[in-house]
Structure 1
């Protein structure tokens, strides 16, 4: 009987580990060709438009810098987005509700960032001055 308890405990630990991944940051993602000649303020507007589709809220923190917040039930994330005419980066600022340890975080957070990155790419790829 104790073998079964130990085995079930080990399986539970392994299952919970499968839900965590290394924190995903976007590091100097190349700016799509269509957006490279846009003014930095216009690029920021397009990033905001992309994020608002998934209920991200934004604060301007300076030229080429946005702080975005996402809240979904018990989960919340705050990220920094830095951008210029050549690239953009997304980095985790803080989170709550996500299990996080040793540089790993619940995969839901990473999914949020992957979706946001895709939305930003799509928005910038079709940019017009």
Structure 2
């Protein structure tokens, strides 16, 4: 019984320390349109590129309505596809290096980096 309790406790501790989270995309983020400011696809592209640059992402337009974003931090690299138009944008996982991606899960920092990018894109689009 003691061994079973120890095994269960060890399993709980190890699972709490997990560095992987389920992979998710950030789809259909609305582009704010107000009476004072309406966006075009070009203005959305410009604001996305500004937000990327401010956060240290390397981003380049790969075709109309699509930007390839890359973030290099220490030994980690993350690449995302950013699809956009005048009314919405989405950020989708493309690939990574040293982020323990296994098809379903990825290093927990992925969510933080992409959420931060979404917040900064939203801030740029709001101005």
Q: Aligned residue for 2:46?
A: 45
Q: Aligned residue for 1:83?
A: 84
What root-mean-square deviation, in Å, do the aligned CA atoms of Structure 1 and Structure 2 show? 2.3
How much has 1:12 moved relative to structure 2? 4.9
- Aligned pairs (5 A) from 1:1-129: 6=7, 9-17=10-18, 19-34=19-34, 37-126=38-127
Relative to structure 2, which stretch is displaced further, 24-33 or 105-114? 24-33
How much has 1:2 moved relative to structure 2? 6.2
| 2-structure distance, mates of 1:106, 1:96 | 11
Number of equivalenced pairs: 125
How much has 1:38 moved relative to structure 2? 2.6
Structure 1 residues 21 and 36: CA distance shift in structure 2, 3 A = farther
SS of alignment partner, residue 49 of structure 1: helix
Structure 2 length-normalised TM: 0.85
List 4+ stretches of structure 1 deviating above 4 A: 1-5
SS of alignment partner, residue 29 of structure 2: strand
How much has 1:16 moved relative to structure 2? 3.6
Deviation readout 1:40-91 (Å, 9 max, x if unpaired)? 1221111010111110011111111100000000111000000001110000
Asked if the contact 1:36/1:85 (under 8 Å) is kept, the reply is no
Task: Note the residue ranges of structure 1 that are not aligned, 5 or more in a row.
Answer: none
Task: Note the residue ranges of structure 2 that are not aligned, 5 or more in a row.
Answer: none
Structure 1 length-normalised TM: 0.83
